[in-house]
Homo-oligomer: A and B are copies of this chain.
Amino acid sequence: MADVPARTEIGVTTGPIRGSKKVHVGPLGVAMREIHLDPSSGEPPLRVYDPSGPYTDANARIDIMAGLPQLRRPWIDARGDVEAYDGRELRPEDNGQLGPDRSGGVPQFPNPVRRPLRAKAGMNLSQMHYARRGIITPEMEYVATRENLGREMLRDYKRDGESFGASIPDYVTPEFVRDEVARGRAIIPNNVNHPESEPMAIGRNFLVKINANIGNSAVASNVAAEVDKLVWSIRWGADTVMDLSTGRNIHDTREWIIRNSPVPIGTVPIYQALEKVGGIAEDLTWEVFRDTLIEQAEQGVDYFTIHAGVRLPYIPMTAKRVTGIVSRGGSIMAKWCLAHHKESFLYERFDEITEIMKAYDIAYSLGDGLRPGSIADANDEAQFSELYTLGELTHRAWAQDVQVMIEGPGHVPMHKIKQNMEKQLEVCGEAPFYTLGPLTTDIAPGYDHITSGIGAAMIGWYGTAMLCYVTPKEHLGLPDRDDVKVGVVTYKLAAHAADLAKGHPAAQMRDDALSRARFDFRWRDQFNLSLDPETAEDYHDQTLPAEGAKTAHFCSMCGPKFCSMKITAEVREFAAKQNQSADTFIAADAGDAERALFASGKGSVADAEAGMAEMSERFKAKGSEVYLPAAE
């Protein structure tokens, strides 16, 4: 199926990803994608995790002007702990305007939230709060079904991987989800004012997730482009999206994004607060910041990045760095602290912020404002000092049953990545880690989706729960549509490589299905099973455009006359022809010899020669019957 543009003023890409269809599983209708394989494969459709929402559902009618259906609203109402109230009035400064004049503004979303929900007096809406009281919410049930993807298809599956102490279950039950949320090892970010979202979990015992950043800036972008990027990024696999808009129209842009997003939306509220005080960091006040939190809470932001770990005493530790403070939020707070010679108001008012979080069920993403911005600054004193404070704040948030994840670096050479994961797990009580990259070298601007994809795959393997994507434009400019896709696909493959290495029960099914398709020359299946079917098919067609080549039993690498996979097929037929399966008997013998060598742990060349000789002997002894021509 080709991409079908939706009938809306704001164009977004809709329609199923080719070769796939949307399915809804179980009583909650959990959304998944089914990739259909050629009948010749004799294989059932493969189900894959699918954050793309109704946009890839052939039966869904998409209307950007109306927003998505409110999937979770009945669940929220049923709990009886929320009240609707008259929301905060929109003010010109919310969109960076100095007065009522809206010229230079963007169109307002037709039907914004006017009567937002919040907790009734004394109530706590956080999923962690329910979990700790033993309540399994529909959100938790949805997550359990969603994460179980394919596991039921695993009959005699052998667990294989190194999980570094994670507790990945063979099967995810709603009770397991509840327990992980109660312990703080996983979060389900979903503001009651974002009922359009499909519940998802971020935690090291679940599939590794990825985040895509979008948002307009002071110098570029517009609302239509941002909504398009939202839909485009989840189409290719983004599990959450952060709106990092700066400059004007922040409020209106965010409304369009949230109303049309099936995935959790995160923001960095200090960005908008800074705009409200004309970009002068020292003019920031707790009141302006608090007002911004309420504004965004009412719109439905699911998680807030709060840089409360940037404390006054740590700031001078950055003076000797090669790249100082590179986090925008971190540097805003650093400037405020220095200008006032005061401790950060985010740190001082942390418990008041937590009160707001629990009234809407917003999760903390504790920002790493002092993360290293270069290889030279990795794992330094400023970075780890802040991490210890984030650990302290994690426990303060948990004391009020509020969900927390921790943001991580940044720029880190490979040999220093593991220490980041280990310290975070230890100091933050296994709260989910959410890292940016890390970039493993600084010398490849233009390729930082790759320098960071390397670090992302590794830290995901070590235990990071969500990876924040990096696009090819990192350090150079604002990502366009193509950059967003490349960034998302790169991070999807890194997250998947991490799931494989951790030994996630169902992760390898897709690799194996694609490998079988490759071996059988089922080109279409190979394209459809890949993370980016369009690019895979396009690359194939650049060399062999003929339609026939899609079914040809050769590829452009070897050509028709000779093909290694064809020869392997012959080897297989040959082995199959034997009265006794060749691989069971030769390999079994070889196996004994080899296993002995491997077990000895020091298979010297002498050992090897001995093993080989032994095998050759046995082989020659039995060879004649193994290789008895089928004819005879």
Contacts and interface: CB of A to CB of B under 8 A. Distances in A.
A519 interface: yes
Nearest to A48: B443
A526 B445 contact: yes
A218 B496 contact: no
Interface stretch (A81-89, A257-265, A569-577): A569-577
Interface stretch (A66-74, A101-109, A453-461): A453-461
A442 B324 CA distance: 39
A253 interface: no
A129 to B, nearest CB: 21
Contact of A453 (B453, B500, B543): B453
Contact of A319 (B457, B527, B583, B623): B583
Contact of A328 (B324, B562, B583): B562
B557 A478 contact: yes
Interface in A458-484: 458, 461, 472-473, 475-478, 480
Given A334-B567, A477-B543, A493-B443, A246 B530 contact: no
Contacts of A450: 449-450, 453, 490, 493
Q: How many copies does the complex hold?
A: 2
Contacts of A220: 543, 556
Interface stretch (A139-147, A358-366, A602-610): A602-610
A464 to B, nearest CB: 13
A315 interface: yes
Contact of A615 (B246, B313, B575, B597): B313
A539 B482 CA distance: 12
Nearest to A602: B426
A516 B322 contact: yes
A92 to B, nearest CB: 18
Interface stretch (A20-28, A117-125, A389-397): A389-397
B461 A493 contact: no
A38 interface: no
Given A332-B567, A477-B544, A562-B246, A493 B444 contact: yes
Given A323-B519, A568-B331, A594 B384 contact: yes
A341 B594 contact: no
A419 B477 CA distance: 40
B447 A489 contact: yes
Contacts of A574: 319, 338
Interface in A376-399: 376, 381-382, 384-385, 388-389, 391-392, 394-395
B443 A510 contact: yes
A415 interface: yes
A326 to B, nearest CB: 6
Contact of A540 (B161, B322, B476, B518): B476
Given A381-B590, A556-B220, A500 B414 contact: yes
A421 to B, nearest CB: 14
A162 B567 contact: no
A272 interface: no
A324 B569 CA distance: 8
A30 interface: no
A560 to B, nearest CB: 7
A511 interface: yes
B442 A511 contact: yes
Interface string A587-598: 100110010011
A497 B451 contact: yes
Nearest to A217: B559
Contacts of A414: 457-458, 461, 497-498, 500-501
Listed residue (A324, A449, A515, A611) with the most chain B CB atoms within 10 angstroms of its CB: A515
Given A374-B512, A543-B220, A326 B564 contact: yes
A514 interface: yes
A317 interface: yes
Listed residue (A219, A247, A316, A453) with the most chain B CB atoms within 10 angstroms of its CB: A316
Contacts of A556: 217, 219-220, 477-478
A338 to B, nearest CB: 6
A97 interface: no
A76 interface: no
A542 interface: yes
A294 interface: no
Contacts of A565: 323-324, 326, 331
B446 A381 contact: no
B568 A326 contact: yes
A75 interface: no
Contacts of A451: 493, 497
A519 B328 contact: no
Contacts of A375: 500, 508, 511-512, 515
Contacts of A542: 473, 477, 480
A444 B558 contact: no
18 contacts: A161-B413, A313-B615, A315-B571, A317-B583, A319-B581, A322-B516, A324-B572, A325-B564, A331-B564, A373-B515, A374-B512, A385-B615, A392-B608, A414-B498, A427-B603, A443-B511, A451-B497, A473-B543
Those 8 A-B pairs whose CB atoms lie nearest each other, nearest first: A324-B568, A218-B559, A477-B543, A374-B515, A316-B582, A414-B501, A331-B564, A388-B608
